[in-house]
Amino acid sequence: MKPMTRKLQWTLFLRSLTLQGSWNHQRMQNLGLLWTVLPWLRKNRGDVNRDRIFCRRYYGFFNTNPYLANFLFGGLIRLEEDQDAGLELVPGMIGTFRDSVGRALASLGDQLFWLGLRPTLIMVICLAGLLGHVSAVLVVIGLFTAGQLLLRWMALRKGYDLGMDIADLLIDPRWHSWIGRMKRAGMVLTGMVAGLYLAQVAELGNSADRNLLWIGTVLGMGLPVVLRKRLPGELLIVAALFMALVLTFAI
Amino acid sequence: MALWVPVAMISDPTWLSLLILGGLAGLLALDDTALAQTWFGQPLPAAVLTGYLCGDPLTGLAVGLPLQLVLAGNLPIGQTFTGDSTSATIAGVAGTILAGNHLPQVMVGNPAGTWQLLGWVILGAGLLSLLGHFLIQAERRFNGIWMLEGLRSLRDGRLGRIERLHIRCLLTTFLRGFASGILFVMIMLRVWIPLFAHLSPTLQTALGTLPLLLPGLGVGTMIDRYGLKTSWPWVAAGMVCTFLVVHYVA
C-alpha cells in the first residue's frame, strides 16, 4: 500500500467539508460524494469508459453523517488505489462498502453528534448566555469547530490506513460508551439550564403576577413532554404566544 | 462581566450595512448544512456574531438565548421541517439594533418595558424562520434538478460538469442566505418593529411574558427528545442542584 500523499489528503479534506453542499431529496449526498473523490480520479485518469464507471459508482443514493464521513472517504480511496494497482476485488464490492459503512456511520453520527454532542453543547452555550458570558458562547463553538475539523482530518488518514478493516473500528464498544456519556451530560446540562432559569424566575421583580408566571413556566416545560409531537421550535413560539395571552387575561 | 465590544462595523441601516449583514447570513447559511457545519449558524452564536458586528452583543444575547432554547429540539434527524433560523436570528438582532433599540437579557432587567419588544422581535424571527423553510425547500429542489443534469456525465465522462454543478449548488446556498438575510432585515426594520407601536396594550403585555415562557418550552422539548423515563433522574439532579446553588447559595 502506498501512503496517501499530503496534497491529496488536503484536497479530499477540503472537499469533504462540502459533502452536503448539493443535498437533494432524490439522492441526498451523491453529488457531494462524487465531488469529494473526484481529485483521485483526476490524478489517475483512465479511458473515458473507466471514468464513466467510476462516476456511476458514486452517483447513486448516498447518505451518511458529515462529521464521520471521512472514515469512509479514506477507505474508498484505499479500495480504489488497491483496484488500480491490480488487486482483484469482488465485483460491486466498493459500492457495497460505500453503502454499508455509510449507513453505519450515519447511525453512529446521528447518535453521537445530533442527539449527543449538539444538545450538550447547546446547553453549555445557553448556560454561558444565562450567566451573561457573551464571548464564551463563541469560544465554545470555536473549540467544537477546531475539534471536529481535527477529527475529519484524522479520520481521512485512519480510513485510508484501515481500508476494509474499518469494520473493526465501527464495532468498537467505545463509540456507544461515548454516546451514552454525551447524552447523560446533555441531560444534566438541560437540568442545569432549567434550574438556573427557575432560580431566575423566582427572583423576578417585575410587575407580572409571579405565581401565574410559575404556572406558565411549568406548563411550558410540560407541554412538549405531554404533546410528544416534536413540534418545530418556530411553532412552539406561536404556542407560547397563546399561553402568554391566556396568562395576560388571567392577570 | 468581562465583555469585549468592538467598534461597530454597522451602525446605520445603509445599503453597505445590509450587504455586510447579507454576507454574514450567506456564510452562516452555508455553514448550516452545506459547508463544514461548525454550528456558528445556530441561533445563539449567530445572534452574538450579529450583535458584535452591529456593536451591541448584549442585544444579540437577549434575542439569541430564548430563540436558541426554544429551537434546541430542531435536530436534523427524522424531520421534514427545516426553518431558516439563522437568517431570521440575524434579522431579529440587526433589525432591533439598527432601529435604535437596546434589549436587556431576559431575567436580568426590564427597563421601560423592553421585554415586550423582545417578545415581538422573537415572534417575528420565528415567523421569518417559517418563511425561510420554503426558500430552503426550493433550493433543495433546484439541487435535485442540477443533480439529475449530472447524470449526463455518467454517459459522456465529462468531469468538469460535476465540478460546476456542485459549485453552483454551493453558490445558490450562499445567495439564498444572502438574499433572505437582506430581505428579513428589511422586513424586521421597516415593517415588523415599527408595527410594535400600534399593538394593543393587552398584546404588548402578553409579548412581555413570551420570552419568559420560551426557555421552559425549550427544556421541555429536550426532555421529550431524550425520553422522559430515561432522562428525568439526570435532568432532575442537574435542575435541583443548580436551583439550590443559585437561589440559596449564590
User: Which grid coordinates are listed for B117?
Assistant: 419588544
Residue labelled with grid coordinates 460535476:
B162
Task: Indicate if A125 and A30 belong to the same structural domain.
Answer: yes
Residue B2: which pLDDT band, with cuts at 50, 70 and 90? Answer: very low
Q: In chain B, which residues have their Cβ closer than 8 Å to the Cβ of A110?
A: 77
A67 and A11 together in one domain: yes
| Contact between A132 and B108 using a beta-carbon 8 Å cutoff | yes
Instruction: Determine which of A110, A218, A223, A236 to mutate to test the interface with B (most B C-beta atoms within 10 Å).
Output: A236
- Note the pLDDT tens digit of each residue in B169-209: 999 999 999 999 999 999 999 999 999 999 999 999 899 88
Burial, A171: exposed, middle or buried (Cβ in 10 Å; 0-12, 13-18, 19+)? exposed
Residue B28 banded pLDDT, cuts 50, 70, 90? very high
Q: Is B199 on the interface with A (CB under 8 A)?
A: no
Nearest by CB to residue A17, choosing from B36, B217, B218, is: B36
Instruction: Name which of B60, B144, B221 is nearest A236 (Cβ-Cβ).
Output: B221
Of A23, A38, A149, the CB nearest to B162: A38
User: Looking at beta carbons, which residues of chain B come within 8 Å of A202?
Assistant: 247
- Does A82 fall in a domain? yes
Do A210 and A176 belong together in one domain? no
In terms of domains, do A127 and A26 share one? yes
Q: For A108-160, write each residue's pLDDT tens digit.
A: 999 999 999 999 999 999 999 999 999 999 999 999 999 999 999 999 999 99
The minimal CB distance from A114 to the residues B30, B77, B85 is found for B77
In this complex, do A203 and B213 lie within 8 Å of one another by their Cβ atoms? no
Q: Find all residues with CB under 8 Å of A188, minimum gap 6, and list them.
A: B234, B235, B237, B238
Residue pair A155/A71 in contact by the 8 Å Cβ criterion: yes
The DSSP line for A58-77 is: HSS-B---TTTHHHHHHHHH
Whole-number Å distance between alpha carbons of A177 and B79 = 26
Whole-number Å distance between alpha carbons of A160 and A139: 32
B219 to A221: CB separation less than 8 angstroms, yes or no: yes
Query: Residue A189 falls within a domain, yes or no?
Result: no
Q: Considering only CA atoms, which of B110, B156, B61 is closest in space to residue A207?
A: B110
Q: Which residues contact A161 (CB under 8 A, 6 or more apart)?
A: A74, A78
Domain co-membership, A54 together with A158: yes
DSSP per-residue letters across B41-52? TSHHHHHHHHHH
Q: Rounded mean pLDDT of B30-38?
A: 94
A62 phi and psi, to 5 degrees? -150, 135
Of residues B240 and A91, more confidence is placed in B240
Asked if A106 and A20 count as a contact pair (C-beta separation under 8 A), the reply is: no
Instruction: Give the angle B11-A133-B23 at the CA atoms, nearest 5°.
Output: 40
For residues A120 and A12, state if they share a domain: yes
Of B223, B247, B128, nearest to B185 (Cα)?
Answer: B128
Angle at Cα B103 formed by Cα A143 and Cα B205, nearest 5°? 125
Q: Are residues A140 and A20 both part of a single domain? A: yes
The reported pLDDT for the residue numbered B108 is: 63
Distance of CA A35 to the CA centre of its chain: 20
Among B residues 126-165, those touching chain A with beta carbons less than 8 Å apart: 126-127, 129-130, 140-141, 143-144, 146-148, 150-151, 153-157, 159, 162-163, 165
Cell of A213: 408566571
Identify which of B213, B173, B126 has the alpha carbon closest to the alpha carbon of residue A31.
B173
d(CA A158, CA A154): 6
Confidence of residue B111 (pLDDT cuts 50, 70, 90): low
Q: Give me the pLDDT at residue B7, please.
A: 45
User: Above 0.95 for ipTM, yes or no?
Assistant: no
Least confident residue range of A39-48, A136-145, A202-211, B140-149: A202-211
Spell out which residues of chain B touch residue A186, defining contact as CB-CB under 8 Å. 222, 226
User: In angstroms, rounded to a whole number, what is the distance separating the alpha carbons of residues B106 and B103?
Assistant: 9
Q: How many distinct structural domains can be found in chain A? A: 2
Assess whether A163 and A216 both reside in one domain: no
- d(CA A94, nearest CA chain B) in Å: 17
Q: How confident is the model at residue A165 (pLDDT cuts 50, 70, 90)?
A: very high
Q: How far is A223 from chain B (nearest CA, A)?
A: 7
Q: Which of A11, A19, A20, A22 to mutate to test the interface with B (most CBs of B within 10 A)?
A: A22
Average pLDDT, chain B: 90
Tell me: do A156 and A228 sit in the same domain: no
Closest Cα of chain B to A65: distance in Å? Answer: 10
* Polymer length in residues for chain A: 251
C-alpha cell at A206: 417585575
What pTM was estimated for this model as a whole? Answer: 0.93
| A191 belongs to a structural domain | no
Handedness of CA B88, A216, B193, B14 (dihedral sign): negative
The answer to whether residue B79 neighbours chain A at the CB level (below 8 Å) is yes
pLDDT of A203: 76
Which residues of chain A does B46 touch, with a Cβ-Cβ cutoff of 8 Å?
Answer: none
Nearest to A23 among B33, B67, B223 (CB): B33
* Dihedral sign (CA B168, B171, B175, B176): positive
**Are residue A212 and residue A109 in the same domain, yes or no?**
no
C-alpha dist (Å) from residue B208 to A18, A202, A247, B78: 41, 17, 11, 34
Residue of B nearest to A41 (CA): B159
In a domain, A199, yes or no: no
Q: pLDDT tens across B220-238, in order?
A: 999 998 998 999 999 999 9
Does residue A187 fall inside a structural domain?
A: no
| pLDDT 10s digits, A189-217 | 999 999 998 888 777 665 555 676 677 77
pLDDT of residue B223: 92
Q: Say whether B72 and A25 touch across the interface (CB within 8 A).
A: no
Q: Which residue does chain B place closest to A123, by CA atoms?
A: B69
**pLDDT confidence band for A250 (50 / 70 / 90):** confident
Range of the domain at A150: 6-181
Using CA atoms, how far residue B102 sits from B24, B99, B185, in Å, is: 21, 9, 16
- Residue A186 included in any domain: no
- Cβ distance of A194 and B51 shorter than 8 Å: no
The tens digit of pLDDT for each residue in B49-90 reads: 999 999 999 999 999 999 999 999 888 876 666 799 999 999
Q: Do A225 and B220 touch (CB under 8 A)?
A: yes
**Per-residue cell: A196:** 438556573
Work out the number of other CB atoms within 10 angstroms of the CB of residue B161.
17
Looking at the structure, tell me whether residues A111 and A150 fall in a common domain: yes
